Amino acid sequence: MIRLIVNADDLGSGRATDRGIFHCFARGILTSASLLANGYSFAEAAREARTQALPLGVHFNLAEGQGLSGPIPGLTNAAGEFPGKASSRRALLSGEIATADLERELTAQISRVFDAGLLPDHADAHQHVCLFGPAGPAMIRVLKQFGLHRVRLPMPAEPADGDPGGELGRELKLYRALAPNFQRISQAAGLSTPDALWGMPLLNRLDEHRLLALLDQLPLGTWELMVHPGHLDPLNPFSGPERVREQRALCHPAVLRRIEERGIKPINFGELG
């Protein structure tokens, strides 16, 4: 059997992104989403997720925006703001950040999701920050404390020889090197993960033709496909035309047919086992 979780990241980051995610859940192949506890539109997204019964995970964020627990020495500025993807990774690898401070912030984020009346079934990490330094072990400990036992494995599923060049290619090489350790510590802690993560080489390039080709490649197993659908938002640099293309792809009739033709079983993290 081929089982596939189709998970949209960044729910709660902005109204345009949120509308696209809910549209894909109602009319496309989307099976779940990951909610940013420190996102701009968190409260509205949480209310709509409850209304639509959208299966949710916690999109732990140690890279961008405002933290919820105050400043973290060595990571945030004095106002508690995260420094961005590259700087956060360097800081986490420096060995100068107290694990207790990370756990305090991650606890604040997951608590906000529960306090909104939601019952998350998994967690993942914004910008895959769980692969760097103490962030992964801190995340796993917090998940265990809250009784969550399912987590994303940021291991690219596609063969490495098909990776693109440039910055994205370097990112994928880094993920392939770091993900096996995160897989080991997750399994040692009794957490469940999909077998690997599809779609990472298609970041900002996923359309219906590429999605159909990806679905044709899926072997037997339990997989996750990470997607980023949405509507255009001129105030959000991460809500451009590439998100609209993904939304169309996820709802395209040919994609819906291909899922059925191949006998792919759509699931969410709660059904992972």
CATH, domain range 2-271: 3.20.20.370
pLDDT tops 90 at residue 238: no
Task: Report the Cα 199 to chain-centroid distance in Å.
Answer: 12
Q: Which residues lie closer than 8 Å to 205 by C-beta, 6 or more apart?
A: 242
The residue ranges of every structural domain in the chain are 2-271
The whole-number average pLDDT for the span 109-129 is 98
Query: In whole angstroms, what is the distance from residue 250 CA to residue 206 CA?
Result: 9
Output phi, psi for 195, to 5 deg: -70, -35
Return the H-helix or E-strand segment holding 206: none
Is residue 140 within 8 A of residue 168, CB to CB? The reply is no
Query: In whole angstroms, what is the distance from residue 29 CA to residue 45 CA?
Result: 19
Query: In whole angstroms, what is the distance from residue 91 CA to residue 88 CA?
Result: 5
- Give pLDDT, residue 239: 74
The Cα angle at residue 147 between residues 11 and 46, in degrees rounded to 5: 25
pLDDT tops 80 at residue 108: yes
**Cβ count near 40 (within 10 Å):** 18
**Cβ count near 181 (within 10 Å):** 11
Q: What pLDDT band is residue 231 in, cutting at 50, 70 and 90?
A: very high
Q: What pLDDT band is residue 124 in, cutting at 50, 70 and 90?
A: very high
At residue 84, the 3 state secondary structure works out as coil
Return the H-helix or E-strand segment holding 5: strand 2-11
- Give pLDDT, residue 218: 98
Query: In whole angstroms, what is the distance from residue 178 CA to residue 111 CA?
Result: 28
Query: In whole angstroms, what is the distance from residue 132 CA to residue 127 CA?
Result: 10
What share of the chain has pLDDT > 70, as a percent? 100
Ramachandran class of 127: left when φ > 0, alpha when ψ lies in -120 to 50, beta otherwise? left
Q: Which residues lie closer than 8 Å to 68 by C-beta, 6 or more apart?
A: 37, 38, 105, 108, 109, 112
Q: What pLDDT band is residue 194 in, cutting at 50, 70 and 90?
A: very high
Query: In whole angstroms, what is the distance from residue 193 CA to residue 94 CA?
Result: 28
Q: Return the structure tokens found at 67.
A: 């933290």
pTM of full prediction above 0.85? yes
Greatest alpha-carbon pair distance for the chain in Å reads 54
- Give pLDDT, residue 112: 98
Looking only at the bridges linking them, the beta strands covering 221-227 and 2-11 are parallel
pLDDT tops 90 at residue 235: no
Output phi, psi for 120, to 5 deg: -65, 145
Beta bridge partners of 32: 7
